[in-house]
């Protein structure tokens, strides 16, 4: 079944820039490598139950948007490396066939996938690692700020560098897309975290003692996809992680979070 294909406007800007500088052959190589790497990544994700909802063409490459599935920490980490491994294997094959320029493109794009910024796979790896350690939303906050910072840096570099060398303009659509993606990434990560809570899967239970004055966001910083968290006040009244996330999405305060628990006393 052919999935829906979406094209981000900044991909058109990157494409137009490459054609303006007569780099159509380079774009063809990049498109082929993106397709092989992301296609292989999607294939292995599908085997784990992560179905592709649509394909998105961006300045960072072809990106598959997946329907989330309940996977272990180790499985997610391994999957995020698949695309880059395929890219490295492809580059080795191309070097053996003496297609050095194509091999270098494949190797470069495989390396870019592992950069520790969202929405790249390297950023996903760090989201899982930091999220399990410090909480998913806290990690998402760090990574999205870092991603926006890199995006602004690329935009500045692209504008300044293009004065000296016109090809530097290529950094501009990439930087703009990083800013756009990271400004929307936090909410999407929060939604995925909440939907994962609604799935009927067994997870270790962790009890967290709090004062009851924390905001919903401060409570949500404790959450990750690998544990069920239950919050307790000093008087031993408690609330579930699902109620905390509902309060976060609905813009409620800490009093609303603990209202049910206080009524049960």
Pick the closest to residue 246 from 262, 260, 232 (CA basis).
260
83 and 20 part of one domain: yes
pLDDT tens digits, residue range 68-97?
777 888 888 999 999 999 999 999 998 888
Which two structure tokens, joined as six digits, stand for 115?
């950069």
Which of 143, 167, 198 lies at the terminal end of a domain, its last residue?
A: 198
Residues 98/103/105/110 CA torsion (nearest 10 deg):
180
Q: What confidence category does residue 265 fall into, taking pLDDT thresholds of 50, 70 and 90?
A: very low
pLDDT tens digits, residue range 16-27?
988 888 888 888
46 and 115 part of one domain: yes
168 and 214 part of one domain: no
50 and 142 part of one domain: yes
Pick the closest to residue 210 from 250, 264, 248, 261 (CA basis).
261
Containing structural domain, residue 211: 205-264
Answer yes or no: are the C-beta atoms of 79 and 69 closer than 8 Å. no
Which of 198, 215, 234 lies at the terminal end of a domain, its last residue?
A: 198
145 and 225 part of one domain: no
Mean pLDDT, residues 183-191 taken together: 89
121 and 58 part of one domain: yes
pLDDT for the residue 245: 86
Q: What confidence category does residue 166 fall into, taking pLDDT thresholds of 50, 70 and 90?
A: confident
pLDDT for the residue 37: 92
If phi > 0 it is left, if psi is from -120 to 50 it is alpha, else beta; for residue 49 that is left
235 and 182 part of one domain: no
Mean pLDDT, residues 5-30 taken together: 89
Which of 173, 198, 223 lies at the terminal end of a domain, its last residue?
A: 198
Pick the closest to residue 184 from 224, 226, 151, 216 (CA basis).
151
177 and 248 part of one domain: no
27 and 106 part of one domain: yes
pLDDT for the residue 120: 92
pLDDT above 50: residue 227: yes
Q: What is the CA radius of gyration of the chain?
A: 21
75 and 53 part of one domain: yes
pLDDT tens digits, residue range 96-151?
888 888 899 999 999 999 999 999 999 999 999 999 888 899 999 999 999 999 99
pLDDT for the residue 235: 62
194 and 213 part of one domain: no
250 and 122 part of one domain: no
For the chain, how many structural domains are there in total? 2
């Amino acid at each position: 079944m052919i999935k829906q294909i979406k094209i981000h406007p900044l991909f058109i800007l990157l494409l137009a820039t490459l054609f303006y500088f007569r780099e159509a052959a380079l774009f063809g190589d990049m498109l082929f490598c993106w397709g092989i790497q992301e296609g292989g990544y999607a294939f292995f994700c599908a085997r784990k139950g992560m179905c592709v909802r649509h394909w998105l063409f961006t300045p960072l490459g072809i990106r598959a948007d997946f329907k989330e599935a309940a996977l272990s920490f180790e499985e997610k980490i391994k999957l995020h490396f698949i695309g880059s491994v395929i890219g490295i294997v492809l580059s080795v094959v191309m070097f053996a066939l003496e297609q050095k320029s194509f091999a270098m493109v494949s190797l470069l794009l495989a390396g870019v996938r592992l950069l520790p910024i969202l929405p790249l796979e390297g950023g996903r790896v760090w989201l899982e690692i930091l999220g399990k350690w410090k909480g998913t939303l806290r990690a998402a906050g760090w990574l999205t700020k870092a991603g926006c910072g890199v995006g602004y840096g690329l935009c500045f570099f692209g504008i300044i560098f293009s004065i000296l060398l016109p090809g530097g303009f290529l950094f501009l659509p990439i930087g703009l897309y990083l800013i756009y993606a990271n400004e929307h990434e936090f909410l999407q990560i929060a939604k995925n975290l909440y939907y994962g809570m609604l799935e009927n899967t067994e997870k270790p239970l962790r009890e967290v003692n709090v004062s009851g004055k924390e905001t919903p966001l401060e409570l949500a910083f404790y959450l990750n996809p690998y544990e069920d968290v239950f919050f307790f006040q000093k008087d031993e009244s408690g609330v579930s992680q699902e109620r905390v996330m509902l309060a976060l999405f609905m813009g409620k305060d800490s009093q609303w979070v603990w209202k049910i628990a206080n009524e049960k006393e």
